Amino acid sequence: NMKKLHGLFMLLFCINAFSQSSKTLSETLYEDGLGYLRGITKYHNPKLAKSLFYQSAKLGCPQAMNELGNIYSDGMYFRRNIDSAIFWYKKAIFSEYAPSCYNIANLYRLGFNIPQDFTEAFRYYMKGMEMKNSDCKKAIAYMYYKGLGTSQNYYKAFDLYKEIAETGNVNAMYFLGLCYRNGYGTFPDPELSKLWLQKSAS
């Protein structure tokens, strides 16, 4: 029994050590990939960067999955492939990587090489906001303000813009000023409107 217990302990130890080394390897591959893609810490080699991102993504690195999505969506170094971009963004989102929610939502909102779909855009922005992504939060405020992919709701837009403006975001300050000026989601308040519009301008 002691031999079995010892064997089980060693097996668990090896599995744990392997998972830790896999994590370290995936992060190293991702960081090396960034170096080659940007030509900062390594010489500029997008083809090698893509290969490293692919290896890293296969080991479960969501940042590498997101970078593959970016590579396929921007078409700068390789032939643009939106289906592949969406595939990798979705894999990153499944791994709880919030920036991919913003990236995939932008594709749908802009109709970038796919049919424009505000509902899908709103859905992914909302998912990203729930994962505490600030870019998605700003996008949701705008979608509510304009009624894109959801019913226009000045009250929700106002609440979000107020929260974001108080963190110092210039764009949110401007929209909050408009809300106070026009009485969108709040009572009209010329003084507060002037205050926030001046803050955004300065």
Q: List, for residues 76-125, the tens digit of each pLDDT value.
A: 899 999 999 999 999 999 999 999 999 999 999 999 889 999 999 999 99
- Total Cβ atoms within 10 A of residue 162: 19
Q: Does pTM top 0.95 for this prediction?
A: no
Average pLDDT, the chain: 91
Q: Which helix (H) or strand (E) holds 201?
A: helix 190-201
Q: How confident is the model at residue 176 (pLDDT cuts 50, 70, 90)?
A: very high
CA distance 121 to 70: 17
- pLDDT score recorded for residue 70: 97
Q: How confident is the model at residue 41 (pLDDT cuts 50, 70, 90)?
A: confident
CA distance 133 to 52: 26
Separation in Å, CA 123 to CA 40, 139, 176: 36, 11, 23
- pLDDT score recorded for residue 12: 40
Residues 1-19: tens digit of each pLDDT:
544 434 444 444 444 444 4
Tell me if 118 sits within 8 A of 152, measured CB to CB.
no
pLDDT more than 70, % of the chain: 89
